C-alpha cells in the first residue's frame, strides 16, 4: 500500500534532518536555569523550536490520516467500490504533496534561516531595459512577500533615467524569510520584445539579486570608523510615503570590502545613518559567513559582472514563454504567474538542490 511507503519516507526525512534530536536539544535549553536571562536569545530559540513542534505534530496527524485512508481503501476494495477507491488514492496523493512541503521546511534549519532578510536588486548593463527589469523583479518579491503575509519596507531606491530602477534595497520581515529567499542571490535574465524599442526588437536584460539576513542585535560585528566613508545626498526618488526629497539620504562605504549601503526612507539623517550601519553589519556578517563556508568565494567578482555566465534563472517572454532555473532545471511555462510573485516552487526546488 502506498500509504505505508509514504509514512516510511516521511519518517526518513525526519531522521535525515535530525528533527527529533534538534527538538530535544531545544527542550533541554529551555529548561536551563538561566534561559530567560537573555530575552532576545530566548525568544529566538522559542521561535525556532515552534517550527520543529509544528513539523512533528504535522507528521503525527499525517501518519494517522494515512492509516485511516489505508483502512478505508481496504474496505472499498473488498466491497469493489471504485468511487471510494479513487477518492482515497487522491487523498493519499494530496498528502504526498503535503509531505513534500514539510520536507522543504525541514531544510530551513540552518543558523540564520529563521531570520528576516534584506534584498538588494541592481540593474545590469543595458540602460532602461535592465532598469525596467530590476523594477519587475522588485515587484515580484514584494508580491511574494504579500502572498506570505510578510511585511516589507523600502530602505533605499535609485530611480532609472527613463523608467524602472537602477538599484533598490528592501527589508522583508517574516518567519524564515531568509531561509526561503537565500537561494535567490545571483543574476536573473529576461528575454522579451522591448516596450521601449520602436522597432519592437527582442532584447536580453540582466539584473542581480543579493539576499542576506537581518542579524540579531546581540551578534558582535566590529566596524571601525576609519574604515567608513559616509556621504549624504538628495534622494532621487518620487517622495511621498516611500522616499523623501531632503538631503537626509545617507550612503556608507566600507572601504576594506568595498561594500556600499544606502538609506533614504527616513526624514532624519541620523536615522538613515543608523539604518545604514545595521544593513552594513548584516552585509559584513553575511560576507564573513560565506567566506568561511566557501559558499560563494567569488562573490565580489560576480557582482562586478552582471551579464552572461553568472545566471541562476532565465525568464523568456519571447519567442516562447518559459521561466527556467539554471541550477535545478525546474521550469514553468507561465511567466506571468511567476512574475506575480508565485515563486514557491522555484524556492522549494532550490532548497532541495542544496540539501541533496
For residue 308, pLDDT over 60 is answered with no
CA-to-CA separations, 303 to 102, 174, 186, in angstroms, rounded: 34, 27, 8
Domain ranges of the chain: 2-106, 117-354
**Range ranked top by mean pLDDT from 209-213, 218-222, 263-267:** 209-213
> Residue 236, Cα to own-chain centre: how many angstroms?
27
For residue 302, pLDDT over 80 is answered with no
CATH of 117-354, one of 3.30.70.1660, 3.40.50.720, 3.80.10.10, 3.40.50.460: 3.30.70.1660
Please state, in angstroms and rounded to a whole number, the distance separating the CA atoms of residues 254 and 303.
16
> Per residue in 85-133, pLDDT tens?
888 888 887 887 777 777 787 888 777 888 899 999 999 987 899 999 9
> What top-level class would CATH report for the domain 2-106?
mainly alpha
> Which pLDDT score, from 0 to 100, does residue 218 have?
64
User: In the structure, what pLDDT confidence band is assigned to residue 2 with cuts at 50, 70 and 90?
Assistant: low
> Which pLDDT score, from 0 to 100, does residue 18 have?
79
Lowest mean pLDDT among 91-100, 276-285, 342-351: 91-100
> Which pLDDT score, from 0 to 100, does residue 105 have?
79
Identify the helix (H) or strand (E) that includes residue 313.
strand 311-316
> Which pLDDT score, from 0 to 100, does residue 306 have?
54
Q: Could you tell me which residue, 265 or 339, shows the higher pLDDT?
A: 339
> Which pLDDT score, from 0 to 100, does residue 246 have?
57
Q: Are 252 and 273 in contact (CB under 8 A)?
A: yes
Per DSSP, helices labelled H in the chain are 2-16, 19-30, 39-78, 82-106, 128-147, 177-181, 269-293, 299-303, 335-339, 344-354
Please state, in angstroms and rounded to a whole number, the distance separating the CA atoms of residues 325 and 348.
12
> Which pLDDT score, from 0 to 100, does residue 6 have?
67
For residue 199, pLDDT over 90 is answered with no
For residue 242, pLDDT over 50 is answered with no
Mean pLDDT, range 231-236, rounded to an integer:
77
Please state, in angstroms and rounded to a whole number, the distance separating the CA atoms of residues 350 and 309.
19
> Which pLDDT score, from 0 to 100, does residue 293 have?
63
Angle of helix 82-106 versus helix 39-78 axis, rounded to 10: 160
Mean pLDDT, range 202-220, rounded to an integer:
86
Lowest mean pLDDT among 16-25, 46-55, 250-259, 288-297: 288-297
> Which pLDDT score, from 0 to 100, does residue 15 have?
73
Q: Which three cell numbers stand for residue 125?
A: 548593463
> Which pLDDT score, from 0 to 100, does residue 73 have?
82
Mean pLDDT, range 261-289, rounded to an integer:
87
Helix (H, G, I), strand (E, B) or coil at 140: helix
Q: Could you tell me which residue, 80 or 187, shows the higher pLDDT?
A: 187
> Which pLDDT score, from 0 to 100, does residue 316 have?
97
> Which pLDDT score, from 0 to 100, does residue 114 have?
84
> Which pLDDT score, from 0 to 100, does residue 315 have?
97
> Per residue in 128-186, pLDDT tens?
999 999 999 999 999 999 999 999 999 999 999 889 999 999 999 998 899 999 999 99
> Per residue in 4-60, pLDDT tens?
666 677 677 777 777 888 889 999 999 998 999 888 788 878 888 888 888 888 888
For residue 313, pLDDT over 80 is answered with yes
pTM of the model: 0.77
Amino acid at each position: 500500500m502506498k500509504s505505508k511507503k509514504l509514512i516510511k519516507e516521511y519518517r526518513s526525512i525526519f531522521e535525515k534532518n535530525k528533527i527529533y534530536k534538534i527538538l530535544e536539544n531545544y527542550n533541554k535549553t529551555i529548561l536551563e536555569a538561566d534561559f530567560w536571562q537573555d530575552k532576545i536569545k530566548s525568544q529566538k530559540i522559542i521561535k525556532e523550536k515552534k517550527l520543529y513542534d509544528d513539523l512533528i505534530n504535522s507528521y503525527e496527524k499525517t501518519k494517522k490520516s494515512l492509516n485511516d485512508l489505508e483502512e478505508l481503501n481496504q474496505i472499498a476494495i473488498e466491497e469493489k467500490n471504485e468511487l471510494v477507491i479513487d477518492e482515497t488514492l487522491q487523498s493519499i496523493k494530496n498528502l504526498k504533496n503535503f509531505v513534500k512541503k514539510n520536507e522543504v521546511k525541514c531544510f530551513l534549519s540552518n543558523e540564520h534561516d529563521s531570520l528576516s532578510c534584506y534584498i538588494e536588486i541592481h540593474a545590469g548593463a543595458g540602460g532602461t531595459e535592465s532598469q525596467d527589469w530590476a523594477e519587475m523583479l522588485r515587484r515580484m518579491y514584494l508580491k511574494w512577500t504579500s502572498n506570505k503575509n510578510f511585511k516589507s519596507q523600502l530602505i533605499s531606491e535609485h530611480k532609472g533615467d527613463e523608467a524602472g530602477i537602477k538599484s533598490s534595497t528592501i527589508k522583508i520581515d517574516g518567519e524564515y524569510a531568509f531561509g526561503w529567499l537565500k537561494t535567490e542571490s545571483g543574476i536573473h535574465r529576461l528575454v522579451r520584445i522591448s516596450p521601449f524599442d520602436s522597432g519592437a526588437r527582442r532584447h536580453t536584460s540582466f539584473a542581480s539579486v543579493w539576499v542576506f539576513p537581518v542579524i540579531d542585535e546581540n551578534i558582535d560585528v566590529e566596524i571601525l570608523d576609519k574604515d567608513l566613508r559616509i556621504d549624504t545626498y538628495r534622494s532621487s526618488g518620487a517622495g511621498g510615503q516611500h522616499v523623501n526629497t531632503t538631503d537626509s539620504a545617507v550612503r556608507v562605504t566600507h572601504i576594506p570590502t568595498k561594500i556600499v549601503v544606502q538609506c533614504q526612507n527616513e526624514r532624519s539623517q541620523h536615522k538613515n545613518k543608523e539604518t545604514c550601519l545595521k544593513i552594513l553589519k548584516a552585509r559584513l556578517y553575511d560576507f564573513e559567513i560565506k567566506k568561511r563556508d566557501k559558499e560563494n568565494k567569488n562573490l565580489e567578482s560576480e557582482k562586478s559582472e552582471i551579464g552572461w555566465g553568472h545566471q541562476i534563472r532565465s525568464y523568456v517572454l519571447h519567442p516562447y514563454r518559459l521561466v527556467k532555473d539554471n541550477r535545478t532545471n525546474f521550469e514553468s511555462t507561465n511567466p506571468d504567474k511567476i512574475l506575480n510573485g508565485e515563486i514557491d516552487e522555484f524556492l522549494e526546488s532550490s532548497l532541495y538542490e542544496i540539501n541533496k
